[in-house]
């Protein structure tokens, strides 16, 4: 029961869950995972930079331990664990991740090859100069709102007063609830030119903007190869940018060539460099190419250098195309320009992002120059009061000497109240009663030091007053005209570009699709092995013969074929799946292989493989089919030479399953065994040949409920035996009978 003052609210559990989940999702979207379009920063990045600013870790001051920065940020602004703060700090210092790093790191901050940063107790950091001048400047001028931190003991900026579109310069990556953002980095100088162009022409189109900002500029360089698709991507904010690494072909001694990769796609940084090396190894091991002799990663602090040595006479251009097709040397960067705008997530094109930034710059400038104007007007008021006071300084001294306290003197200066003040003459008292200084002027006069009465000091005061009036006029002009404010903003942007812009690293072009002309490899004999779990691999026949006993014991099937053959996988559902031997990995005896359902349409959940036959071995021969219902037939093997990966190999009655498939010639016999231990041996020549879509004819006559348990297709030189009813039955010694008979009991 509810106690006094309490009220029980009844509601649907589903409604509570829905509201709670929406609140959680919006919290993740807005306050954690997605950047703000205005400053291009996530909350953890913004708080870390602001904390460094508050701690005074400027670009021209000594480095400070990252542990101090992380601890201070976590204690004041971001109570979500040190790993997220340090991770954000590390990324902002990595030149291969950020187009314009915001933190100057000292120590091990990780590498492009995926090595992690050292622990925060070992590394040090400070702000970069551009961060201080373009991201954190003017915070003391009331340009952004400050909000309470998580426990309302500190104030933090709701957004940083960033002067450039950081969301484009450094890009962004983030996964929220039900949405994700992926924005590539761009060149600072080009982005600044784009903002200036927008300020000059707010109706600028995406195509016109791309003439200024041609596309992304990744810190790893590389080549964007789908230039013609960029307008659609930057218009909608969605799409895929195709990237290639930069490749050079060098001549070496002996007339050979080698491929040298000097720039990698942005998507390859980290562990993907190691994966690329493994992919090249795999191409060699699986004999996709035999032209690669060696690969080595010679990268250093100077840059990327991955060297691929080629055989003499190898076609280097063709090998490059193979690498583009089969490895991450050519990759795609998924673009989704999603950011928080006006408090909600929105996918935007490049012009809209710049529009938001330009509007933000005007808001910052309005607040900045309003603050500066108010300060200058206060200075003007004080300066005018001091200048006026210098003209009547003798009277003011008389007032101060005749007053009993400061309150009395101030009342005289502000309101002309002379009561209680001793004056030397009535004229002085009358003149004093006419004084009308403001409160601020009176305070300044009372605090003024005597040396200010020196002639040169008075002249300096008058000169300073003139300068104050000029600044007031300038600030009023900027605030009074949007065009004037735009000119000031553009001038600031040009200064930033001149000091911090760097040359473009990524080339934007249209490139042809990589076409690899595969050399026709000479077909060689191989042995396909399939284990009990459905994993397949191929071996050299000599390796198989050397390990034959173990191979036969550990595998369900061993099939001899050629390396360029196609294999027919017959399943108990009557289906045939075609597998190219080139898709089967070639390797060592103890290699695991790959699941067969990875290279064909076979489904292990509802069908079982009966046997595997090479297409070249059955193309001109008869293939014998036996089902559990004792339906048999022969099919010409040429019917299985089809282009489809899956086809019906035979027709089965409802509930029937395929039991045995094999080659049949004039000298082979078929032995069938029923589940009641009846055996029937017939000549394969007596089995009629039919189309693969036919049901077949009856092989053994069986009683109701009886079915075949096993079937063997035998050659004359093979004499297998089985156990039935406690007795050994040698199959080749069974008398050859007629089809559609009962057979003999064993």
By annotation, the residues acting in catalysis are 122
Distance CA 713, CA 697 (A): 17
131/136 Cα distance (integer angstroms): 6
Q: Which residues of 450-476 are buried (b: 16+ CB within 10 A; e: fewer)?
A: eeeeeeeebeebeeebeebeebbebbe
- Quickly count: other Cβ atoms within 10 Å of residue 203's Cβ: 7
Q: How far apart are CA 617 and CA 637, in angstroms?
A: 9
Q: Which two tokens stand for residue 405?
A: 């306290």
Q: Distance (Å, rounded) from C-alpha 141 to C-alpha 602?
A: 70
Alpha-carbon gap, residue 530 to 533, rounded angstroms = 8
Query: Do 118 and 108 contact (CB within 8 A), yes or no?
Result: yes
The angle formed by the CA atoms of residues 301, 303 and 306, to the nearest 5 degrees, is 115
Compute the distance between CA of residue 395 and CA of residue 397 in angstroms, rounded to an integer: 5
Could you give the count of Cα atoms lying within 13 Å of 599 in the half-sphere of its Cβ? 20
Please name which of 709, 557, 562, 550 lies closest in space to residue 626, comparing C-alpha atoms: 709
Give the chain's length.
746
331: burial class by Cβ within 10 Å (0-12, 13-18, 19+)? buried
CB environment 279-303: b (16+ within 10 A), e (fewer): ebeebeeeebbebbeebeeebeeee
Tell how strand 223-224 and strand 507-508 pair up: parallel
Distance in angstroms (rounded) separating the CA atoms of residues 120 and 73: 13
Residues 6+ apart with CB under 8 A from 203: none
Residue 229: CB atoms within 10 A of its CB come to 15
CA distances from 345 to 40, 42, 337, 363, 530 (A): 13, 13, 10, 21, 52
Q: Which two tokens stand for residue 159?
A: 């957004």
**What are the tokens at 184?**
């590539």
Q: Are 669 and 733 in contact (CB under 8 A)?
A: no
Q: The tokens of 63 are what?
A: 């480095």
């Amino acid at each position: 029961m509810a106690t006094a003052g309490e009220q029980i609210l009844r509601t649907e559990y589903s409604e509570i869950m829905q509201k709670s989940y929406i609140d959680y999702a919006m919290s993740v979207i807005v306050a954690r995972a997605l950047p703000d379009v205005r400053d291009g920063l996530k909350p953890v990045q913004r708080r870390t930079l602001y904390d460094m600013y508050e701690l005074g870790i400027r670009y021209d001051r000594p480095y400070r331990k990252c542990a101090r920065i992380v601890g201070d940020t976590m204690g004041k602004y971001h109570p979500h664990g040190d790993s997220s703060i340090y991770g954000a700090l590390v990324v902002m210092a990595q030149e291969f991740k950020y187009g314009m790093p915001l933190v100057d790191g000292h120590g091990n901050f990780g590498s492009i090859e995926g090595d992690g940063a050292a622990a925060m107790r070992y590394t040090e950091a400070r702000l970069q100069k551009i961060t201080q001048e373009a991201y954190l400047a003017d915070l003391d001028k009331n340009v952004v709102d400050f909000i309470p931190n998580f426990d309302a003991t500190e104030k933090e900026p709701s957004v940083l007063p960033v002067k450039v579109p950081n969301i484009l310069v450094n890009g962004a990556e983030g996964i929220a609830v039900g949405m994700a953002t992926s924005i590539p980095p761009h060149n600072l100088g080009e982005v600044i030119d784009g903002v200036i162009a927008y300020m000059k022409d707010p109706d600028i189109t995406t195509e016109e903007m791309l003439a200024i900002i041609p596309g992304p500029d990744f810190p790893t360089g590389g080549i964007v190869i789908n230039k013609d698709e960029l307008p659609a991507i930057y218009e909608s904010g969605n799409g895929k940018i195709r990237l290639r690494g930069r490749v050079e072909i060098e001549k070496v001694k002996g007339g050979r060539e080698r491929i040298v990769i000097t720039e990698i796609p942005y998507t390859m940084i980290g562990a993907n460099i190691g994966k690329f090396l493994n992919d090249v190894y795999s191409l060699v091991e699986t004999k996709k190419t035999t032209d690669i002799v060696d690969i080595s990663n010679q990268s250093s602090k100077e840059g990327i250098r991955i060297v691929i040595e080629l055989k003499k006479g190898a076609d280097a251009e063709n090998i490059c195309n193979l690498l583009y097709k089969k490895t991450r040397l050519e990759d795609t960067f998924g673009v989704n320009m999603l950011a928080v705008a006006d408090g909600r997530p929105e996918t935007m094109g490049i012009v809209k992002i710049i529009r938001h930034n330009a509007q933000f710059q005007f808001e910052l400038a309005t607040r900045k120059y309003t603050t500066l104007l108010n300060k200058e007007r206060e200075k003007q008021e004080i300066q005018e009061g001091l200048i006026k006071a210098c003209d009547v300084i003798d009277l003011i001294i008389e007032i101060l000497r005749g007053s009993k306290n400061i309150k009395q003197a101030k009342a005289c200066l502000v309101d002309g109240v002379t009561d209680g003040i001793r004056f030397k003459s009535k004229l002085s008292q009358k003149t004093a009663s006419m004084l009308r200084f403001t409160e601020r002027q009176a305070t300044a006069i009372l605090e003024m030091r005597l040396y200010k009465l020196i002639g040169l000091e008075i002249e300096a005061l008058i000169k300073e007053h003139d300068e104050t009036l000029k600044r007031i006029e300038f600030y009023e002009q900027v605030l009074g005209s949007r065009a004037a404010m735009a000119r000031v903003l553009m001038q600031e942007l040009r200064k930033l570009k001149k000091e911090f812009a760097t040359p473009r690293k990524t080339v934007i072009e249209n490139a042809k699709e990589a076409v690899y002309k595969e050399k026709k490899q000479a077909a060689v004999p191989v042995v396909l092995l399939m284990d009990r779990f459905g994993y397949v691999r191929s071996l050299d026949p000599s390796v198989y013969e050397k390990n034959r006993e173990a191979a036969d014991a550990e595998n369900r099937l061993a099939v001899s074929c050629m390396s360029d053959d196609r294999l027919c996988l017959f399943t108990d559902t009557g289906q045939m799946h075609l597998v190219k031997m080139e898709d089967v990995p070639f390797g060592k005896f103890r290699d695991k292989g790959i699941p067969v359902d990875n290279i064909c349409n076979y489904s292990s959940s509802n069908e079982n493989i009966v046997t595997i036959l090479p297409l070249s071995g059955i193309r001109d021969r008869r293939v014998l089919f036996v089902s559990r219902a004792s339906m048999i037939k022969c099919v010409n093997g040429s019917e299985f030479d089809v282009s489809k990966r899956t086809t019906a190999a035979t027709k089965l009655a409802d509930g029937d399953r395929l039991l045995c498939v094999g080659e049949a010639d004039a000298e082979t016999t078929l032995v069938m065994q029923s589940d009641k231990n009846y055996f029937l041996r017939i000549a394969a020549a007596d089995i009629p040949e039919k189309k693969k879509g036919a049901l077949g004819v009856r092989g053994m006559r069986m009683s109701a409920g009886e079915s075949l348990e096993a079937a063997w297709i035998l050659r004359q030189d093979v004499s297998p035996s089985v156990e039935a009813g406690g007795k050994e039955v040698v199959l080749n010694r069974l008398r050859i009978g007629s089809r559609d008979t009962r057979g003999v009991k064993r």
